[in-house]
Structure 1
Amino acid sequence: MTFITPLILFLKNSHSVRKALTPGLISSLFMSVLFILVRKVPPVCKHMPSFEENECTFDWREVEIGMFLLSIIVIKNRASVSAEQMITSTLMYTKLASAVLFYRLDPRFAIGYCLLCVFRLWLLPDYFVDGPEELTYFSDTTLQESLEEDKRVTWVVLFYTTWSPHCHSVSPVFSELSNEYATKYLKFAKIDIGKYSKAAKTYGVSASTMSHQLPTIIVFEDGKAVDWRPMLGSNKKFVKYVFTEENIKRDFGMNKLYDESLAKCKKFKKGKKEE
């Protein structure tokens, strides 16, 4: 069951994996399995400290830590909104477990492993190659200008920051939605409120490190905000929102917005012909 759940999570989100693995993620994968390689692959394993008679065998404590790691991965990935988030989360916890396992062998191994992980992250950061998307990237001024330029256009805008892991996990989902629903009168956009703080203040989205509003999606119609997530609850605190593709489609009525945008296309196209 421990192996089946992550597999189901991956298959459920596999439609969003249209991005090639980068050197950063490949190196992260290598670092995640490094302990297994030094413990099981001869002749390296022959020269490693061992708690068993056979040097190339996992001892009971290592197996126990491995099973605990799998349980943590399953629990943490239940709320994953994309395969990308699941992969990066799994690699992160696997490297943490590897550091503990290396420490059991020799604290010096653990120090060297952690330094190697930090150097790898600095040299080859974890990210996926961006796939096709129908998105406009706004600044604080261009957002306001676009909202006022043509009020027939409905804008779906993602407010995000580059340092927030939640924003990174929602990004591929939002790109998929833009590919599926974008039309002439239904457009998708993103704005980095960590960089454009004026937009954060204008639209009431907090970009602080303790914020419960990252990311935020706001729908604008006639130049005004008409729908957004996360929303304020009865206690005047923001209610946690899971930005899965299914939730966004349902709660923002994406199919309805798409149909309305197509109706606008026909209406205004017909009006031009009559003129």
Structure 2
Amino acid sequence: MQTELISLDPEKQKKNRNKPNLYRKCQVLTFSATNETNQHMRCPASSTDKHLAVSYHTKRRDVHYLLKPSSSSQTPTNSQPLHDPFETRKHKKMEKKREGGGGGALERTSQIVSDPYYFLHFMAFFSYLPIRASAAPHTSHRLFDRELQAFLAFLMFSAIKMVREETWEAFVADSLLYAKIFLIGVSLVMDYRVGIWFCVIFSVVYLLAQQPAFSKLGTAKKLTPMQLEDLLSDGTTTKYWLIEFYACSSSKCVRSSRCFPELSITYSNSLLSFGTIDLGLFPNAASKFGISLAGGMSQLPTYILYEKGVEVHRFPDFYVDAAPSLPVTKKLLCQHFELDRLLLDYINGS
């Protein structure tokens, strides 16, 4: 027998008191639910509206259900209780949170531990402690004063960058740069050979590892040059396409890697779509889109807006040696490509 289970939770009954077709007056019968036996009893109702009201108690909570036989069945059988919709939504949120990597602090901590770039920097800074412990006694007092001055200066510059920088990647890059400068300066006060040692260490780290970019895409699509050409030539796609051309080996692309995914979440709709192309994987395709990779990839990242397959705007400007004079931010991209106007056009249906 197929059954329809209706919750008899008191709070939900209050909300549905004016819905006589949903709840019927019946006597709730209580029993102890076990794995071996299930007791089913009918409550006194009319012959045309027979319901089975069941309540069972577990160690966690009391659960009440009203079992309504389907029209095609006559005898009740064992049935499974339906999931509470509130519990289901809560469960889905927890699943999404786990898929998204948890909270921001936990995600960043795990990234620092697992990524070679952050791990090597941590080991390099940590190596200062045993070196500092072996310093000569006559230099300890003077060295402590320099360490305190360097630490306070580092906190001041980091606080300024925290306010000015828009992305976590840019803040980390600047903070690590300041920490390296101050550590080398303090090491030179201790012993010039220690300062040279840290210069060598940081040079090796720079050659072996690079700062990771923001890994999520938002609602943007990761495309190849051939896929982009097919989308632009296909008239059934969205009217506008905003494409980001980047390379993971470019420090500018890493610093601004968080801006484009966040913009795609805010402005993506059926009128405007977002896509990304990694020119580090397809360097030969850069010339097709008027992008020069000469000069240390100074033109990257490049953003191009297409309307019905035709380029209408780009940033930076279309010059061989052009480079963004300002750091790439969400505000800059919004103003340059008039994303707010495109969003209003979508809302107005134009």
Q: Secondary structure at the match of 2:258?
A: helix
- After TM superposition, give the deviation of residue 130 of structure 1 in Å: 2.1
Q: 2: CA distance between counterparts of 1:205 and 1:192?
A: 12
Name the structure 1 match of 2:339.
254
Q: 2: CA distance between counterparts of 1:170 and 1:28?
A: 21
Contact 1:136 1:190 in 2 (8 A): yes
1:206 aligns with 2:262: no
1:48 aligns with 2:141: no
Q: Secondary structure at the match of 1:58?
A: helix
Listed one character per residue, the Cα deviations across residues 121-147 of structure 1 (whole Å, up to 9, x for unaligned) are: 667653266235212222222211111
Q: 2:220 aligns with which of 111, 119, 135?
A: 135
The AA in structure 2 aligned to 1:28 is: H
Higher fraction of helix: 1
Name the structure 2 match of 1:168.
254
The AA in structure 2 aligned to 1:49 is: A
1:186 aligns with 2:272: yes
C-alpha change, 1:227 and 1:51, in structure 2 (3 Å) is farther
Q: Secondary structure at the match of 1:20?
A: helix
C-alpha change, 1:50 and 1:148, in structure 2 (3 Å) is farther
Identity %: 21
Q: 1:82 aligns with which of 164, 167, 170?
A: 167
Q: TM-score under structure 2 normalisation?
A: 0.56
- After TM superposition, give the deviation of residue 224 of structure 1 in Å: 0.8
C-alpha change, 1:232 and 1:203, in structure 2 (3 Å) is closer
Q: 1: CA distance between counterparts of 2:268 and 2:250?
A: 25
Q: Secondary structure at the match of 1:209?
A: helix
Question: For structure 2, which runs of at least 5 residues remain unmatched after alignment?
Answer: 1-103
Q: 1: CA distance between counterparts of 2:318 and 2:166?
A: 21
1:149 aligns with 2:242: no
- After superposition, residues 13-162 of structure 1 pair within 5 angstroms as 20-21=108-109, 22=111, 23=113, 24=115, 25=118, 28-29=121-122, 31-32=124-125, 35=128, 37=129, 45=133, 47-52=134-139, 54=141, 58-59=144-145, 61-66=146-151, 80-117=165-202, 125-127=210-212, 130-131=215-216, 133-150=218-235, 152-162=238-248
1:243 aligns with 2:328: yes
Q: 2: CA distance between counterparts of 1:123 and 1:202?
A: 32
Q: 2: CA distance between counterparts of 1:118 and 1:239?
A: 27
More relative contact order, 1 or 2 (CA 8 Å, 6+ apart): 1
Q: 1: CA distance between counterparts of 2:204 and 2:325?
A: 34
C-alpha change, 1:95 and 1:200, in structure 2 (3 Å) is same
Q: TM-score under structure 1 normalisation?
A: 0.69
Contact 1:29 1:91 in 2 (8 A): no
CA radius of gyration, larger in: 2
- After TM superposition, give the deviation of residue 250 of structure 1 in Å: 2.3
